[in-house]
Amino acid sequence: MRITEDLIRQTLSAQIDPNTGTDYVSAKNVRQISVTADGDISVRIVLGYPANSQLVPLSEQIRSALAALPGAGKVDVQMTFEVVAHVVQRGVKVMPNVKNIIAVASGKGGVGKSTTAANLALALAAEGAAVGLLDADIYGPSQPMMMGISGQPETTDGKTMEPMENHGIQVSSIGFMIDPDEPMVWRGPLVQQALQQLLTQTNWRNLDYLIIDMPPGTGDVQLTLSQKVPVTGAVIVTTPQDVALLDARKGLRMFEKVDIPILGVVENMSMHICSNCGHAEHIFGQGGAEKMCADFGVDFLGSLPLNLQIREQADAGKPTVVAEPDGQVAAIYKAIARKVAVRVAQKAKDMSLKFPTITVQNT
């Protein structure tokens, strides 16, 4: 049996990427196919999401399928990934140095949103993406502590500032510029202006993803975000209890109304596992976030336990994904981050930066 490009493409169309649930041909991941007269096969696959931990097993999946073809010789599978900019809400332009902005939000405070945002950023970076983290909680900035960063950002021109950095993440926060014990007694317009300045006057360096740690609620910052910031999608964080879910539903509806897609919902503190006897107990209720996802038709990204170490590690400036990268909880965060990245990759690509601005003048 003679090996042809059509046969190779047909074989690849039967191979499903377990992360996307789509075959490599339909997902337009196949960039190059070549075959020699001796049956040696070479294919190049480019995934749309960061996937350092996935490249080897996925390459082996494809290599095995192609090697099983009658008459196949040597099989070479080159697999990489490329993160591109995707469409945002209408009337807002994508930032030239930030491909995708992901808002991590909650309707209610105290549900672990900031911890989730930090670990989400770290998980994406662990998969090979260039990631930034913007602390948009002007009244209660917590990312400097969680990311283990102190000091003030540098400026080279007196107008813009360099992002602070730790654990491979570029970070900007109002917390770097104020005394930690000093309350931010600001009215709404000042808060909105501060958010805009943190976003646009930070010299982000070619980010694949910028994670925005939002303040709780649906107020001024959320309104500014929806009207002026090019957001690719939002992640909602909640706990299983009814009070938190009530506010999470409001936050979800707010993003829907301003044309920002929901990438999914994360449930924090889903259960407590006793460190002494191993008994699992759903202290804050059970299945609330999954039901909310079913009601709104959005993805349930995953659930995290009520775990003492998650809190201790974040307080110590080394969130779980870097403190215990091979641990069970870190694996949950990484799986959630992969789902978020896949959901972003499945959105339409933004082409606005590909074309020059055309101006028509009467002469």
Binding-site positions for ATP read 107-114
Binding residues: 107-114
Contact yes or no for 231/104 (Cβ under 8 A)? no
Contact between residue 305 and residue 327 where contact means Cβ atoms under 8 Å apart: no
Contact 126, 325 (CB under 8 A): yes
**SS3 (DSSP) at 253:** helix
Three-state secondary-structure class, residue 195: helix
244 phi/psi in degrees, rounded to 5: -70, -40
Nearest to 67 by CA among 3, 163, 150: 3
For residue 358, count other CB atoms closer than 10 A to its CB: 5
How big is the CA angle at 82 (ends 81 and 83), to the nearest 5 degrees?
Answer: 125
Q: For every residue of 18-67, which 3-state class applies, written as one string?
A: CCCCEECCCCCCEEEEEECCCCCEEEEEEECCCCCCCHHHHHHHHHHHHH
For 163, counting Cβ atoms within 10 Å of its Cβ (0-12 exposed, 13-18 middle, 19+ buried), the class is buried
| Helix extents (H) in 258-362 | 288-296, 308-315, 320-323, 328-345
Q: Are 115 and 146 in contact (CB under 8 A)?
A: yes
What whole-number distance in Å separates Cα of residue 62 and Cα of residue 43? Answer: 9
Q: Evaluate whether 334 touches 53 at the Cβ level (below 8 Å).
A: yes
User: What tokens does 354 get?
Assistant: 């590909």
